[in-house]
Every structure is written in C-alpha cells, then in structure tokens.
Structure 1
Amino acid sequence: MSPSELVAEIRSHDFDYYLDELMDNVSDDVDKREGSIIYDALAPAATVLAEEAITLANTIEFIYTQTSTGEFLDYRAVERGTSRIAATKTQVKATAIDRNNLPVTNIQIGDRFASIGDEPIFYTVIKVTDDIKTQLSFPQAMTDSGGVTFSAVATDVTAPVIILEAEEFGTRPNGYKGQILPVSYNDALSYAEITEITVPARDSESDDDLRTRLLSPDTYNAYGGNVADYVDMLDRIEEVGAGQIYPAWQGGGTVKLVIVDNNFLPASDELIASFQNEIDPTPSGSGYGLAPIDHVVTVTAPTELKIDITSTITFATGIDETTVKNNINQALQSYFGNLRKGWAVIDATIGRGYNVTVYRSQILAEILKINGVTNATLPTLNDQESDLKLQATNETSELPVLGTVTLND
C-alpha cells in the first residue's frame, strides 16, 4: 500500500465508519436506534475517533516532502541543508524639496514616510547620499504635507538622494512610485517623491516552489566554490532574484555572475555594487567576501533584449477589440515574466549551460487563450519568422523583455 492509498483509507474512516464499528460490538438485543442510550453513549466516541483519523492522515502527509506543507515542509528543507527563501523588503530612491523648490537637507536615517492611498505603505530612511545627486521635474501644482496646494516651477531640481526601505515584507511596495508623506515631523519638507525602485522585494517562497527545489534531481552538494556553491550564495542574498553563473569565463579562478533583481529584471547599479561587495570586494580574489580565496568574481547585469511581436488577429463578433488587445498584452507580459523566472535555470541537456528560447507557437497559444480571439496568425519576433534563442555566453547574457506588440485585424 502506497502512502497516498494509506491516507485515502484513513480519511475514509469517518463518523459513520467508527459508529458502525462500535455498534457491531454491541449485542443485537440492545436498542441501537438513534436517540437510544447506547447510541448516545457511543456517538461522541465515534466523533473523536473520526477526528483522530483526520489528524493521523495529515501527519502521514507531513512526513513526506511530496505532500508536506508549511512549517513541516520547512523542517524537511533543513534536513536537506537548505531553507525556504524568505520574503524581503523593497528599497526605493526618493527626493524631497521645500516650499522654495530647494532640496531638503535635514532628512535623517530613521525618518519615516508613507505612500498616499487607502492602504499606505510605510518606509524608513536607511541612507541619505550627499555625493550622488539626481534630477527630477516636480509638477507645477503640488500638495504639501499639510494638504495645502501650492505652485512650483516645473524645472529640474538637483537634490540629495534618499534611500528608503519599506517596513513590510513582500512585493506590494514594488508597484508604488510617486508622492510620499512624512510620518516623522519635518517642518522644512513640502514635497517628497519616490523616483525609482532600486531593490525590488520578493515574496516568501511558496510550498510548491520549495518542494520542487527539494525534489529536483539536479540538486547536488554546494562545496568549495563549485557552481552549486555560487547558486547557494545567490539564494542567500535577499535582494537578488536569480543569477547565471559562468565559471572560468576569463581563465582559471575567474567567475562571472549575471544577476537580476526580485522582479527578474536587470539589477540596478546599486544592487550590483552591493552584491559585488558581499561576494568579492574590489574584485580581488582575496577571500574577504563569500567567494573562496583566489576566485576573482565579476558581478554584472544581463542585457535586455526587447522582442517585438506582430500578429494578425480575428476577433469574435461584437467584442470590444480594445479590451481584447489589452488582455493580450497582459497575457504576453505574464508569459515573458515566466520566461525570465526560468532564465537562470541550468539546463543539464546542453552541458549545464543556460537555454532561454522564445517560441512563436507558445506566444500564439497565449493569444488564442484570450476571450474574444477566434483566430490568429503565427507571430513574428523582431520581424523574423523563426523562434528566438537568447545568447547565454561568457560575453553576453540576454534577458527577454516584451517590446512592441502589434495586433493587426
């Protein structure tokens, strides 16, 4: 009997099953009808036994990685020498000005801000960079922290860069850019704005993703600077979503790491610098980072390859074509997002390299799934009638990004 069959059998042992079992051990000359003394005496016991059967079935499922969930799956991960990838916090870049359209210079580490909206996102200042400036065009009509609307000249303002970190874990803050309001009192501040998501956050690894990773046949021991060791290093850096690893890319002892952020988009300069410092400062191979001694590690971001898609669509009668086209765009954005999630998966079938291909047939399938589309032609990719294989070499690592979508009718 397999574990799944055993669980199914135990779950079948419900209240009626145990009540019948108990009643079978009672003499037939005793009144067993519902409401009788013996029925009322045995029914609570049958209820408890049925509840214990559910607990036993759940316990059996928790034993095995294939069926375990939640904290029980976390325990299984620890036994494999790993752990669930934790959720992280978003880091953003912001600027602030006063009523005279001049940069505010008295913002300090620890000051708090909040986004506008019904469910605000709260941020804490973690760094104020004086030596790096940014330029930002503020709107002519602005609302200050007291709710008063005032006018300012819409010219570029050079202001200190403020780095904030969201106070909540997860990806919700990844989608917010715009005005933020001070929570900490600051009488000099009139307008502040998030201008860039520098380090997107990620959600906690799901049970399905963790289970897949634990059961992967390609899992092997991370040791001494092998590829698995660098994969493990990438997993431990919360701000990095994934990375491609190119060992000995410029000879023995050299390693190239091509990384993306938690949105699976090319890492920002700030993220690259931070990760380089953690892995191999300088780089020098001195062993002061996570990389082994004599491993000279170069950290960089992939090259975005924008892919333009063109197809001729036949729409269903009476359908709002604009809505259908918007839905197609959203579906293709999701498709490319999934492509990027698999961008750093090592393909053992090609000698443990990386294989990312955009298939025209898969894009056509995504289009045909949309309600209101009755037919579509096989799309072209960057005006080419062929699938598009991305480069993944020591010199160039391409990341697929959706370009212009042209839907003819």
Structure 2
Amino acid sequence: MFEEQSYEAIMERMLERIPDDIDKRENSVIWNALAPAAAELAQSYIWLDQVFDLVFADTAQGEFLDRRAAEVGITRKAATSAVWSVEVAPEGIRIPIGSRFYIDSLYFQYQSDGTLKCETTGAVGNGNFAELPLLSLDNIPGLESVIFGELKIPGQEEEDDEALYERYLMRARREAVSANKAHYKKWAEEVEGVGRAKVFPLWNGEGTVKVVITDGNFDVATDLLVNKVQEYIDPVPGEGEGQAPIGATATVESAKWKDVEVSVSVELKMDYSLEDAQQEIEEKIKSLLKSLAFEENVIRMSAINDILYHADSVSDYADVLINGESKNLPLQDIEIPRLGQVNVIEQA
C-alpha cells in the first residue's frame, strides 16, 4: 500500500520544501540534516504496511491471527499427546494411575482407561513403538513387562495458521449455527485427536445425524476416539446431554479405508534408479491421498499424472493405472484412500 513511500521519494519531497537559494545538494548541511528523518519515515511506512497485514484475518499470522480469532470465540488448538494401548504382564496386575514409563527419551503416563499418554505433546509420540517394551519408572510390585499395543489417538502439533483461519471464517460467517451440518462438523473436529469430520443428516430417519471422522493423521479412527466424539456430541441419544440439541440422535463412526494401487511405466532420468523413482512416487501419492481425505470423492488420473510429470526421477511415463483401470477412482462418502502398492516398471 505504501510502496511509493520510499526513502528517495520522501527525501525528494522534503528537499522541494527548501528554498532554492539554499544549498541542498547531496552531502550539504541541509541534505545531511534531512536524510536521517527521511530514512526513519521510510521505515515507518514499511512498518505501517506490515501492520495492515496483521490486523486483517486473511493476512494475519501467529499471535495476531489468534487475537482476531478470539474476537469470535475461536482459540488455536493446542498440541495434543499420543495415546497408546498397552499389553501388561502378568495379565490383571494393578498399575496405579499416573505411573510413568520411558522409551526413547519419551515419558508416558498410565491412564484410568488402561492406556498410556505421552507427556510430550505433538507427533513425536506417534513413533513406531508397536510391540516395543517400556521401562517402568515406578516400583510396581509383580509387574513383569509393559509393551506398546496400537496407537489409539495420534498426537497432533499445534494448529497452524491456515487451519485456524478456516475455523475463524466458519464462525465469522456464521456457517456453524443452530445444530446445522457445519455445527456438527465443528463439534466433531473440536475433540482432541480428530482430523476431519463429515456429517450425514437424516441418515436413519427424522432427528438422526451420522458423523464420520478421521483421526489427526487423516487415517481411520480407533474405537477410543470414536467414543470420545460420541460422548462430546451426544452421550445419551436424544437427551441433549452433549452438544447435540434435545431430540437429535447423533451416531459417530469412523471412516473406512479404500485401498488404492497405482501402476506406471517410466523412463528414468540420468543418475536415478528404479528404487529412487519408486520411493519418490510413493511418497508423493501418499501425500496426495492424505489431502483428499473427506475433501474429495474421487482420485483423479490428472492428479497422478501431475505427480509423475513433476517427479525429479522421471523423464517420461506411460500406462498409468489406478486399481487396474486408466480412469478416475470414485470414493464412497465414508471412504478415505490408502495407498496399498505402487508398481513402477522401467520402460525398455
């Protein structure tokens, strides 16, 4: 907005106000007296331009976006902790709630529901710990071993600016009101550990609502997470004990997997191996499928072709198939895609 207010432009305007019979050449007394003030004014215009970006929600960042969101009752989601199931030996031994366990510089606390919650928030607690033993930091008589089961609720990093801005817009535009579809979606995604939610009104008759969720990694949600969302939205069907209004019966379910296989014939660029191409293509397709979860109901050939076209390891490609066919792959409303296999063949 203030790009034209440069040091040179300000200095020129200031010198124009000086009578011509006074020496105002560069390095003259007047010029040297005005130059520092012109520099400070130019810097002030730069700061003022930044201030305009920070006061409007679409360009605000960090704490300034937090303050705009707070005006409509929205707060940034804090980082959350990973929750794991555990296998304890001997079976039936009593472990005090709050008992601490250790693995790979991470500490976990035993919860009342028999799970372990990571003391460190964020995705760090989502590591490949399945079937690994933990070290107990407390003296628990009779305890022989505690072994990780499965990741029940993935830990999530603090909500980023883009996601916060989307929730701000939903509230500011009053899209989520009076228990409409957007309101149910908002309620579900407020629960710690939920990634995305999709709402199906009147799915089983009048007054019924189905909410289908993914976890924070946009994967199929565990029963533990589904139950948490159910308790938050509608713990007693129709009674209005949760967020859902009286008379509405909400049912929460997890999304379902749709396995996806991709095959392609490629011509490799120099200095790249078939393994390089396989790894690059797999990683990019996985990222694509994550982004599609509950956002799109189809996996498009054009999206796969775009990945192959821009792949660093691929010079040319042909014979692209998704689940054995050279056409778009539709997804059902409750399905989220999961990459099963990528078959990359080198052209002869």
Q: When the two structures are superposed, what TM-score results if normalisation uses the length of structure 2?
A: 0.86
The answer as to 2:156 corresponding to 1:195 is no
User: 2:264 aligned with 1:276, yes or no?
Assistant: no
1:263 to 217, 227, 241: 217
Name the CA shift for 1:195/1:28 in 2 (closer, same or farther; >3 Å): farther
Superposed displacement of residue 167, structure 1 = 2.7
CA distance in 1 between counterparts of 2:21 and 2:111 reads: 80
Unmatched segments (≥5 aa) in structure 2: none
Q: For residues 193 and 41 of structure 1, what CA distance do their matches in structure 2 show?
A: 74
Give the corresponding residue for 1:138. Answer: none
CA contact (8 A) 1:364 1:378 kept: no
Matches within 5 A, 1:213-292: 214=168, 220-281=174-235, 283-292=236-245
| Equivalent position to 1:402, from 334, 339, 346 | 339
Matches of 1:90 and 1:338 in 2, distance apart? 21
Q: Give 1:127 deviation, angstroms.
A: 3.0
- CA, structure 1 residues 44+218, in 2 after alignment: closer, same or farther (shift >3 Å)? closer
Root-mean-square deviation (Å):
3.0
Match of residue 13 from structure 2: 21
* Post-superposition offset of 1:183: 7.5
Letter in 2 for 1:208: E
Instruction: Show CA shifts across 1:101-160 (max 9, x none).
Output: x469464322333431xxx3333333353xxxxxxxxxxxxxxxxxxxxxxxxxxxxxxx
Specify every segment of 5 or more residues in structure 1 that has no aligned partner in the other structure, as ranges. Answer: 1-6, 130-162, 346-354
Cα distance in 2 for residues equivalent to 1:126 and 1:284: 27
- Higher mean C-alpha displacement, 202-211 vs 185-194: 185-194
Percent identity reads 29
Segments of 4+ in structure 1 off by > 6 A?
A: none
Partner residue of 2:123 out of 161, 167, 171: 171
Indicate yes or no: 2:5 matched with 1:64: no
Question: In the aligned structure 1, how far is the partner of 2:83 from the partner of 2:3?
Answer: 47
The equivalences for 1:206-217 within 5 A come to 206-212=160-166, 214=168
1:93-132 aligned at under 5 Å gives the runs 93-95=85-87, 102=90, 105=93, 107-116=95-104, 120-127=105-112, 129=114
Q: 325, 337, 346: which is aligned to 2:290?
A: 337
Counterpart secondary structure, 1:377: strand
Aligned to 2:299: 358
Closer/same/farther in 2, CA of residues 320 and 115 from structure 1, 3 Å limit: same
Return the letter of the residue paired with 1:404: Q
User: Do the aligned partners of 2:244 and 2:250 also contact (CA within 8 Å) in 1?
Assistant: yes
Contact map agreement 1:108 1:128 (CA 8 A) in 2: no
Aligned residue-pair number: 344
Q: Partners in 2 of 1:293 and 1:279 — Cα distance?
A: 11
Q: Is the 8 A contact 1:361 1:378 kept in 2?
A: no
- The residue type equivalent to 2:243 in the other structure is L
